[in-house]
Amino acid sequence: MLVREIPAWTTGLDERMSEMELFYKTLKWPVIGLLITGGVHFTIEAIWPDLKTFFIPPVLAPLLLAYGFWVGYRAIQVGGTYLHAIVAGAILGILPIVLEVVGFGVILGRGVPEGELAGIFGFAYILFGSLIGAGFVLSREATGAK
């Protein structure tokens, strides 16, 4: 288990690792996973349009929360701080906005305003998850839990 001796709001980066490397290590697999998940979701709704009544934001919220948790947890795990986890969550949260606005709103013709609203919802839930994931790791470290 990674033991931290510095406050969560300061830089916890190893001198040998840049912030870009931290974000790469944090975001690589969650981005790949979310792109695959979004692609499958888009394909399924393109083939069976009636499924749009099932794939609504509250149904997708736990999945997006899990992706956010993954990013927040990973950001701390690779040596980042709470702020790094927030930024990483915000970066990952851009993907649902793009998918909803471009994919569902424009390509599938559902309308840009609906896509924006669903995308912002997805962004928020990924960000919430990153806050929870990072907080979980940091709270375990603060109490000395193993």
Q: Is residue 13 assigned to a domain?
A: no
Number of domains in the chain: 1
Q: Residue 105: its pLDDT value, please?
A: 83
Q: Residue 25: its pLDDT value, please?
A: 95
Q: Residue 142: its pLDDT value, please?
A: 64
Q: Is residue 24 assigned to a domain?
A: no
Q: Is residue 136 assigned to a domain?
A: yes
Question: In Å, what is the CA distance from 17 to each residue of 12, 42, 79, 137, 145?
Answer: 10, 36, 9, 20, 26
Q: Is residue 77 assigned to a domain?
A: yes
Residues 87-99 have pLDDT tens digits of: 999 999 999 999 9
Q: Is residue 60 assigned to a domain?
A: yes
pTM of the model: 0.83
- Domain extent for 72: 30-45+54-143
Amino acid identity for residue 119 in this structure: G
Residues 66-85 have pLDDT tens digits of: 999 999 999 999 999 999 99
Q: Which residues of the chain have pLDDT under 70?
A: 1-16, 141-146
